[in-house]
Amino acid sequence: MSNGTLPSYLSMAKPNPPTNRAPWYKNTAPTYAGIFLWFVFWSQAPSGGSGVPGGVLSQGVGVALLGLVVAALLCHFLFYYVPGMLGLKTGLPLYVVGSAQYGTQGGFLMPGFLMGALQFGWLGVNAYFSSQALGPLVGGNVAAIKIIAVLWAVCAAFVGLKGIQYVAKIATYLPLIPLLILVILLAKTLGGLGDFDPQKLVAAQTAAGSGASGLGFMGVIALSISFVVGFFATAGAAGVDFGTGSRDAKDVQMGGLVGIAVAGIVSAGAAILIAAGAFGQSGQPVLNPADTTFMARVMGSDRAGTVMGLLLAIAAFPSACFSSFIAANSFKTVLPKVNPFISVGIGAAVSILLAVTGWAGKAGSVFTVIGASFGPICGAMLVDYYLSGQKWSGPRQGWNMAGWISWAVGFIVGIAPLVGIANVPAAPLMAFIVGAVLYFVLAKAGMQPPAVSMPTAESK
């Protein structure tokens, strides 16, 4: 295939020049930290996004924090680092870099279109949890909360299409709101940590109220990995785009260590300590620190809980707009002949459906789908990067079946627990491992098509 026959999304791609790049503490780290400070993430950390009695606290605070540290480091080293290096070395976005693993034709769908489509899942999650946080303002009226969710998704989709530059100007400072709330709640509950008993928590969350058995040591570690990695998987692949703004390998490494590992541990770790301390103080087994009722009880004021919920929702709105923005850009690239108002409008309708039916509120299920979808993609990228001599191979002709087969099998493994096929522990991580191993085997078996010359790329 000659350069002239490359699809337009490849032939027209231009690397981000060095003059547009900045230190890690000005772009990668604060942006990733903002993702982990989203209250939908840390509010689910104590429960692990599951209904398992005791959640990640089943074996105590120490094991819960250990599982979190393991999961956060996996996010950095397995899911982010190689995509970040590919972005650094090429200066090209994810949908272009992914053409190496999925082909010049297959790259239209994977990972570009998939990334865009899944953003509407995130928009649905954002609309659902934000409307719940605003629920006290309408007296907890279910119909009114659903209307808020609809308006939230519609407004975010519109701003994502038209006004994202205005949101970006204030989004830098809004993550300070959830950080401040975490600090306040932690200060209020630290005194109860000494009285926290994981066995009592497990028993209190079990219908029988006695004889309950929570997760074992490895079960807690696996739940932590499933929750954190599932949440982070798309952001890991997006490390390609973050990498295009990095100056050197140090920026990639430090941006991930601080913005992903440290920020994830701090935000989720604070939430875990808050939930444990609050249970030690009151004996009430609520594992969602962002719940307005929980915050009101901790603060000793219903009004304080309502105000905190409102502030968390406000801080979450820019991320809803960014999800819509990413989706719109993806669809404009892969569906250039379709009016973006139509494609984004359809996606927003799906988001609304997920929010009003409550499915988007099942965080564990959502994170399982995300992890199953992007775990194999990150695994294939890692293997392809090292097989190509730690550089980008360039787009591969047509459809790279090594990538597609490894993704399909990895996705099935990752989604297995959700659909009842098998109880796969740490499913997002298993999806990554299966995708990586299969890609390696299939690539060595000759199932990769030849790479196509792309002189605009700046692979170093």
- Cβ(247)–Cβ(84) under 8 Å? no
- Cβ(160)–Cβ(322) under 8 Å? yes
- Cβ(359)–Cβ(45) under 8 Å? no
- The dihedrals phi and psi of 454, each to the nearest 5 degrees, come to -140, 85
Q: Report CA-CA distances (Å) from 301 to 58, 231, 314.
A: 29, 32, 20
What does each of the 460 residues of the chain score in pLDDT, given as a tens digit?
A: 344 478 888 888 889 999 999 999 998 999 899 899 999 999 999 999 988 999 999 999 999 999 999 999 999 999 999 999 999 999 999 989 999 999 999 987 898 888 888 999 999 999 999 999 999 999 999 999 999 999 999 999 988 887 555 555 666 788 899 999 999 999 999 999 999 999 999 999 886 454 446 799 999 999 999 999 999 999 999 999 999 999 999 999 999 999 999 999 999 999 999 999 999 999 999 999 999 999 999 999 999 999 999 999 999 998 888 888 888 878 877 777 788 889 889 999 999 999 999 999 998 899 999 999 999 999 999 999 999 999 999 999 999 999 999 999 999 999 999 999 999 999 999 999 999 999 999 999 999 999 998 766 555 5
Q: Which of 267, 266, 268, 236 is nearest to 252 (CA)?
A: 236
Q: What is the pTM of this model?
A: 0.92
Q: What distance in Å separates the CA atoms of residue 244 and residue 12, rounded to the nearest whole number?
A: 17
Give the pLDDT score at 252.
97
Domain residue ranges of the chain, discontinuous segments joined by +: 47-373
Work out whether the CA dihedral 368, 369, 372, 373 comes out positive or negative: negative
Q: Which CATH superfamily is domain 47-373 in?
A: Hydantoin permease (1.10.4160.10)
